[in-house]
Amino acid sequence: MERKTITIFHGPQHPGITGNMSVELELTGETITKARTHVGYLHRGFEKLIERRTVIQAFTIVCRICVPEPDPNEANFALAVEQLAGIEVSEKATYIRVMVLEMARLAAQLLWMAGQSGSVGLGTVGQWSIYDRDLILDLFEALTGGRVYHMYIYPGGVRRELPEGFLERLGALLDYLQKRLVEYDRLFFDNASFQKRAIGVGVVKSEEALHLGYVGQVLRGCGLKRDVRRDNPYFNYAALEFDIPTQSGGDVFARALVRRAEMRESIKILRQVIAQMPTEGAIMQKLPKHRKFTLPKEDTYVAVESARGEFGYYMAGDGSEMIRRMQVKGPSLIHGFTLLESLLVGEELSNVALIMNSLGICPPEIER
């Protein structure tokens, strides 16, 4: 017997969608038989805009490519420009960069926790974790002057010296967060009702995960130990000690557990950074004058590990002061299309928000 299907748009105006995108779902009852991702709501044409900008002009807009965690964009941009222009960065600036990136990772994981818990109606976790994220944003504000967009990691170093007593404040915040993480475990990760919802939902098979180019927690959630910080170290991650947590389940809960362990690893890295931070040294290299800052006719690909997986930039110069081409490869593109569309088939409607949040899909980065 043929069953009647209805087509609905899950988004863009929907509380259960991760940002401004939509998924077109074909439903039989509440079971999804077909899913299609629609994007284009956020296209601003970054890659084209950057072609018409000098390095310093382009620097101001790259952080806006991904809103929940802008810092990997800045790091990528700085790395690419430094590789092309042959700029060496001082040790102190490198440490500060690692610190900023790890703080951003913590903030992004806390934001993810709010989304993930909200998707199963556990609003309390979101209220708490957004508060704790705000404490990190306060530190960002002291350091960079901005809460969300920092524009701090600049080619050649970082833009400002550490404020007085910043590392002590960071240390105190880490102590606080370490205590809070135990409470999050009790309320969220060890909560039987969340486990009941998350276990066995959205299972990614490990054999197809590498083959189709999935990154981040999706890979680590199905047992593959991949992390750009370890595989292809940048800044001074090679000198820092940290683990790469993995889980074998491949489902939403496995990815949640990977993130839970990653928050603790970030705290570990930050503590090492605080202990090893050089007191002396320049934070900024001398750069050519703005109009004379030319990039040679070469290209490069750089990648950093964002809170959701490998975040890569391809950049090419053509000998002029403009950037000839810059391509962004974020984790959301592959997760939001190939993975999401196949994972949703056969799932219940109630699991759409759950799966989308656990894949860490961020639409502004899909369409740039």
Query: Where along the sequence are the contacts to another protein (CB under 8 A)?
Result: 6, 8, 12-16, 19-20, 27, 30, 40-45, 48-49, 52, 60-61, 64, 67-68, 111, 114, 117-124, 126-128, 130-131, 133-134, 137, 146-149, 187, 191, 193-194, 196-197, 348-353, 364
Min CB(104)–another protein separation in Å: 13
Min CB(335)–another protein separation in Å: 19
CB of 228 or CB of 359, closer to another protein: 359
Count the residues in the chain: 368
CB of 127 or CB of 276, closer to another protein: 127
CB of 7 or CB of 276, closer to another protein: 7
Looking at residue 140, its amino acid is F
In angstroms, the CA 300 to CA 290 distance is 21
Min CB(128)–another protein separation in Å: 6
In angstroms, the CA 116 to CA 217 distance is 14
Min CB(72)–another protein separation in Å: 15
CB of 94 or CB of 117, closer to another protein: 117
CB of 185 or CB of 231, closer to another protein: 185
In angstroms, the CA 153 to CA 143 distance is 11
Min CB(49)–another protein separation in Å: 6
CB of 141 or CB of 298, closer to another protein: 141
In angstroms, the CA 121 to CA 100 distance is 31
Min CB(209)–another protein separation in Å: 26
Check if the beta carbon of residue 139 is closer than 8 Å to that of residue 166.
Answer: yes
Residue 323 tokens, joined: 């950037």
CB of 118 or CB of 156, closer to another protein: 118
CB of 61 or CB of 224, closer to another protein: 61
Min CB(42)–another protein separation in Å: 6
Min CB(92)–another protein separation in Å: 29
CB of 49 or CB of 56, closer to another protein: 49
Min CB(235)–another protein separation in Å: 25
